[in-house]
Amino acid sequence: MKKVTVVGGGLAGCEAAWQAAMRGAKVTLYEMKPKKYSEAHKESGLAELVCSNSLRSNDPGTAPGLLKEEMRMLGSLLMDAAEAAKVPAGSALAVDREVFSDYVTSAIEANDNITIIRDELTDIPAGEGTVTVIATGPLTSDSFAQSIGRLIGEDYLYFYDAIAPIVDADSIGFDIAFRAARYGKGDDDYINCPMDEETYYGFVEALVNAEQLKTKHFEKEIFFEGCMPIEVMAGRGKDTLSFGPMKPVGLEDPRTGKCAFAVIQLRQENKSASMYNIVGFQTRMTYPEQRRVFRMIPGLENAEFLRLGSMHRNTYINSPTHLSATLQMKERPDILFAGQITGVEGYIESAATGILAGINAAKVAEGRTAVSPPELTGLGGLVKHVTDADVKHFQPMHINFGLLPPVERMKGRRMKKSEKRAMAARRSIEAMKAWVKAGF
């Protein structure tokens, strides 16, 4: 059996090391703390929660709750730690972050199959004798990031995300929004939300005055990267957007037969066309402000946001180009990626992909075939998205119901959103149960 090397002792790396070790693999886990800290990490323990102490909803009828339930079925170390560290937080699962990190650190230290090396790894391990899981997170050290860049090509490694909101396709008002290609060239791939002059200037005003998140000190340079937040662009002049991302030319509104004063375009996000992103609307507005301001857009008054916009310092790779649904590199199946660096977003999403990478690292070390969870499961939907999304417009994603195959309509009646979600969640749990029972 080959050895397994896990790089990064964060949420994904700890799960990966644990899962591989529990399957008999000899694991070496590299963690650069406390010798070296990223800009956000402050504590020496493993599995540090760098910001919020909430792992989001614990209700299995919600997407984050569903993913957690699946993680428990897969024997998640972090879910055990969360149970031991939980603090009262209503329907959310929030933890005492010190107790959480101590629990994970002690479990990993006590595992005879895991050796921890508290040092920065600057190069990806080479050679026949090891399977490597890269889980160095959104703030991967510079030298290791360079090594990843050499492995996959600089163009496929990103250091910032600039995320535009994603809307549930079912919640778009097609009495106003219309499908059309600019100048009628090509297919009607875009959904267009037209604005008259008065609505446009009101919208610009709302954007400029909306409350924004503060930029962290290590994120300043983001504005030099050519990914301008929509509210900053709006602040440059009241007509800037109508000549930029909201330009209406070549888009005739079928209701009036004319071009509107401005148009907001939505582009299909996933293959099943259940999610659409608002093109060019990366933003630093707070979440409540995004909901308020973006619902001013004609056609999006009742929009359900599956993901809201954000802009962060974030190291991640173009996973659809490089990874298969087992989280192995297509070109180098002895190298797996896990956590935020794959383009998943969030604590539990990172940990969940760590579980899959750990299971597969052990399989690959034993010379067995790696697996991928059923697409009906939350984890399967998440992994499918990051490994199968549109290569050109790939952006990080957190767990949401839009990633799961649509629920069949009930005969003879329209189902409520809550019913659809409850049904999708039940279907996912059953699929995960069956997968676990079959031994993957």
Pairing relation of β-strands 262-268 and 275-278?
antiparallel
Rounded Cα distance between 409 and 420, Å, is 9
Nearest to ligand FAD of 111, 146 (CB atom)? 146
Residue 175: count of CB within 10 angstroms of its CB: 9
List 140, 326, 360, 372, residue binding ligand FAD (CB under 6 A)? 140
List 3, 41, 68, 97, residue binding ligand FAD (CB under 6 A)? 41
Per-residue binder mask for ligand FAD (CB under 6 A), 235-274, x = binder: ----------------------------------------
- Does 394 sit near ligand FAD (CB under 6 A)? no
Query: Least CB distance from residue 135 to ligand FAD, whole Å?
Result: 5
- Near ligand FAD by CB under 6 A, which window of 178-186, 224-232, 344-352, 366-374? 344-352
CA angle centred on 326, ends 325 and 330, rounded to 5°: 80
Query: Which DSSP symbol is given to 167?
Result: E
CA-closest candidate to residue 428, choices 64, 158, 174: 64
Nearest to ligand FAD of 140, 377 (CB atom)? 140
- Cβ atoms of 398 and 314 within 8 Å: the answer is no
- Near ligand FAD by CB under 6 A, which window of 29-37, 75-83, 233-241, 326-334? 29-37
List 108, 131, 133, 135, residue binding ligand FAD (CB under 6 A)? 135
Nearest to ligand FAD of 98, 120 (CB atom)? 120
- Does 329 sit near ligand FAD (CB under 6 A)? no
- Cβ atoms of 337 and 319 within 8 Å: the answer is yes
- Near ligand FAD by CB under 6 A, which window of 4-12, 65-73, 191-199, 318-326? 4-12
Long-range contacts of 362-367 (CB under 8 A, 24+ apart): 362/4, 362/19, 362/20, 362/23, 362/24, 362/25, 363/23, 364/2, 364/131, 364/328, 364/333, 364/334, 364/336, 365/1, 365/2, 365/3, 365/4, 365/20, 365/25, 365/131, 366/1, 366/2, 366/24, 366/25
List 3, 5, 6, 11, residue binding ligand FAD (CB under 6 A)? 11
Query: Least CB distance from residue 358 to ligand FAD, whole Å?
Result: 12
Rounded Cα distance between 159 and 316, Å, is 7
- Does 121 sit near ligand FAD (CB under 6 A)? yes
Nearest to ligand FAD of 117, 407 (CB atom)? 117
- Cβ atoms of 130 and 334 within 8 Å: the answer is yes
Query: Least CB distance from residue 67 to ligand FAD, whole Å?
Result: 11
- Does 43 sit near ligand FAD (CB under 6 A)? no
- Does 309 sit near ligand FAD (CB under 6 A)? no
Rounded Cα distance between 192 and 196, Å, is 13
250 SS3 class: coil
Residue 97: count of CB within 10 angstroms of its CB: 19
List 45, 65, 125, 137, residue binding ligand FAD (CB under 6 A)? 137
Positions that interact with ligand FAD (CB under 6 A): 7-13, 30-33, 38, 40-41, 50-52, 120-121, 135-141, 144, 339-341, 346-347, 350
